[in-house]
Amino acid sequence: MLLLGMLAAACPLVFALETRLTDITVSNTRDDLLLYVTLEGAFSPELKEIILSGVPATFSFPVKLNNVRNMWFDREIADIEVTHTIRYDNLKKEFAVRRSWKKNVPEVTKSFEEAQKWMAQISSLKIIPLRRLEKGQHYQLRIKAEVSKQTLPFYLHYILFFVSFWDIETDWYTIDFIY
């Protein structure tokens, strides 16, 4: 009975650490197709510890947009790789976050929570100009997130070869829409 109670108490912790994409929204302005998305559960305690020790981490967000065609292969419209990199400066006690869709200009903060929020959100990412889409056509946008496998310095690959928190990856998420 005690074992069952311990397992039931541990279950929410296991599910709380699941890495997933949420709040995925495809929208548009007058000129562009936009994407909004949030990554949840990516910052495990081990990953936080490594970042705070000064090792940079990179999150990659591959985004694919296809024109879905019946009785034929889908046509690829856009294939984008968005990257977010976080680096902690131990001397200045601040975090620098670079996001490729914001021209890799570093955003600096002393708050780890704010840096995590920057790392986990994509807001108003321009996928494609609307003039490249055809009205009435079926489109499919796919996105996933992963921690880049190349974030460890070369010498740490040998020391930390057994560490699995660098293997964070979500499933592909798909949104179908008619333009």
Q: Quick check: 12 pLDDT over 50?
A: no
In whole angstroms, how far apart are CA 53 and each of 30, 46, 115, 170?
44, 11, 15, 25
Of the pLDDT bands very low, low, confident and very high (cuts 50, 70, 90), residue 175 is very high
For residues 141 and 35, is the Cβ–Cβ distance under 8 A?
A: yes
The chain-wide mean pLDDT, for the chain, equals 85
Name the pLDDT band for 162 (thresholds 50, 70, 90).
very low
What is the amino acid identity at position 85?
T
Query: Does the pLDDT of residue 11 top 50, yes or no?
Result: no
DSSP string of 89-148?
A: ETTTTEEEEEEGGGTT--EEES-HHHHHHHHHEEEEEEEEEGGGSPTT-EEEEEE--EE-
pLDDT tens readout for residues 108-142: 999 999 999 999 999 999 999 999 999 999 999 99
Q: What is the pLDDT of residue 168?
A: 79
Look at residue 155 in the predicted model and tell me its pLDDT: 55
Cα three-residue angle 136-140-145, rounded to 5 degrees: 155
- Using one digit for the tens of pLDDT, what is the confidence trace for 141-158? 999 999 865 445 555 545
In contact, 66 and 139? CB cutoff 8 Å:
yes
Alpha-carbon span 176 to 179, nearest angstrom: 10
Domain assignments of the chain as residue spans, ordered by start? 20-178
Cα angle 69, 71, 77; round to 5: 25
Percent of the chain with pLDDT over 90: 72
pLDDT recorded at residue 16: 43
State residue 125 phi and psi, 5-degree precision. Answer: -75, 120
Average pLDDT over residues 43-50: 90
The pTM score is: 0.80
